[in-house]
Amino acid sequence: MPVETVLYNARVFANGRITRGGIAIEDGKIFRIAKEINLPIAVNKVDLKGCLAIPGLVDVHVHLRGQMQAYKEDFFTGTSAAVAGGITTLLDMPNNEPVTMDSGSLKERMRDARSNILANVGFYSALPESLDEIHRVAQCGAIGFKLYLNSQIGGIGIDDDDKLLEAFKEIRELGIPIAVHAEDKEMIEKVSKIQQSLGFVDINAYLKAHTTNVETKAVRRILKIAHRSKAHIHFCHVSSDKTIFLIQKARKEGAAVSCEGTPHHLLLSSECLKNLGHISLTDPPVRTGKVMRKLWEALRNAQIDIIASDHAPHSIGEKKGDAVWNVKPGIPGLETLLPLFLTKVNEGQITLENLVRLTAQKPCEIFSLQGRGSLKEGYNADITIIDLHRQSRIDASRFYSKAKYSPFDKWSVKGIPVKTFVNGVLVMDEGKIVENAGAARILRGKALLM
């Protein structure tokens, strides 16, 4: 019996090294990785022309929007952008309209997503107030919970440490992680008010209200609760080396903590923020070149566990405005992450092995996404084919995302994804979406329900 598909004439990144050969796919799974002569016959043969097959990227921080925010992005455009960028699985954030914060809103979101996604999607939920509801949300298959410390989102009072401790303890029993946006609301509001009353409306004023101390204060607070609850905490978009130092220290003391870095915090500095203007405004904001270099050090030392896009699309109107205080923070990132970092691989700034670890292996380990994140026999055939030698230029006007702008617009890149397979189905070919929604799955968390 022939298998469904064989990808041949490839270089395959598996077991930490690259070997020539191909991949046989059957029932959406990797059936065999082998030298060409050892591959089975197939109905469908795809010549990869010497390109490199890596595990499909897993982006743990994406805002797909939809529902009342579909004017910013929807499930179809967001997941199209993902697969165009070589991302086969993503985790969707809960700050939606309505907020994903209980079993009802989570189920509704899953229902809306079902027939509209091209990449696999797992869902976060904001924290509901009651422990019972936390339990039900986990039962419905949330991959993790999300806690925003910079604004009140969800049912739990974010200023109440005792309540948070209680919730963290419950979630620790369920065995799923809590992702945290660590910026202290009170500190931001205090400085913002002063800056506004003085009439400051520029990016500098925004940076003064969102300092690295705003981040470390929130991180310190959560680490205390993490130690006491033993819950697994994942810090989103870390922007400073001080934060990373605190996380490392907590780790050494036995806390279950992880963190992610974003392309913008690693590749843009506050010096260029002033030139790029409002479209590159994001929370937390990008930092000085000096801090940026320290983040790179942390990335190479595996102190940053994951690279995630924090794809946060807004309408172009929402990104404009005379006063920085009226601009929506957030930038689209699904279509630029991989080309930007493949360029860094070509420049020798990061090894391909580390990039795969940061964008596929570790995300799956940390969020318990089984059978994904590596090219291995028996694993789901989520495969991204990259041409490491192809030179290109980022063109935001051609994004699949509804947010057709980027601080990386016009950047030259070397190394791009040329094909994306989701569960064994070719969904992107040479930049084009070639499949209707249907192959992708909704991923459910493996909560240990009692």
CA dihedral for 59, 60, 66, 71, sign (positive or negative): negative
Q: Considering 59, 92, 102, 310, which one is annotated as catalytic?
A: 310
What is the token pair recorded at 380?
């789901």
Nearer to Zn ion, 7 or 266 (CB): 266
- In whole angstroms, give the CA distance from residue 236 to residue 381: 28
Q: What's the closest the beta carbon of residue 223 comes to Zn ion, in angstroms?
A: 17
Q: Give the ranges where 283-405 is alpha helix by DSSP (H).
A: 289-300, 337-346, 352-356, 362-366
Provide the phi-psi class of 445: left if phi over 0, else alpha when psi is between -120 and 50, else beta.
Answer: beta
Nearer to Zn ion, 29 or 181 (CB): 181
Which residue's CB atom is positioned nearest to ligand NCD? 330
Interface pick for ligand NCD out of 261, 263, 329, 373 (rule CB under 6 A): 329
Q: Which of residues 282-301 bind ligand NCD (CB under 6 A)?
A: 282-283
| Binding pattern for the stretch 181-200 against Zn ion, x by CB under 5 A and - elsewhere | x-------------------
Nearer to Zn ion, 149 or 425 (CB): 149
- In whole angstroms, give the CA distance from residue 22 to residue 24: 7
- In whole angstroms, give the CA distance from residue 373 to residue 369: 8
- In whole angstroms, give the CA distance from residue 126 to residue 450: 21
Interface pick for ligand NCD out of 74, 170, 241, 310 (rule CB under 6 A): 310
74 assigned to active site: no
| DSSP 8-class letter at 344 | H
What is the token pair recorded at 25?
């796919």
Nearer to ligand NCD, 11 or 210 (CB): 210
- In whole angstroms, give the CA distance from residue 110 to residue 287: 36
Answer with the entry of ligand NCD, Zn ion, none that 329 interacts with (C-beta below 5 to 8 A by kind).
Answer: ligand NCD
Establish if 135 lies at the interface with Zn ion (CB under 5 A).
yes
Answer with the entry of Zn ion, ligand NCD, none that 135 interacts with (C-beta below 5 to 8 A by kind).
Answer: Zn ion
Provide the phi-psi class of 122: left if phi over 0, else alpha when psi is between -120 and 50, else beta.
Answer: beta
Interface pick for ligand NCD out of 181, 232, 278, 311 (rule CB under 6 A): 181
What is the token pair recorded at 333?
């990132």
Q: What's the closest the beta carbon of residue 135 comes to Zn ion, in angstroms?
A: 4
Establish if 312 lies at the interface with ligand NCD (CB under 6 A).
yes
- The 3-state DSSP class for residue 336 equals coil
Read off φ and ψ for residue 380, nearest 5 degrees. -60, 140
Nearer to ligand NCD, 76 or 124 (CB): 124
Q: What's the closest the beta carbon of residue 391 comes to ligand NCD, in angstroms?
A: 30
Task: Give the range of 44-52, 68-76, 131-139, 255-263 binding Zn ion by CB under 5 A.
Answer: 131-139
List of residues contacting Zn ion (CB under 5 A): 135, 181, 310, 312
List of residues contacting ligand NCD (CB under 6 A): 63, 95, 181, 282-283, 310, 312, 329-330
Q: Hey, which residues are catalytic here?
A: 310
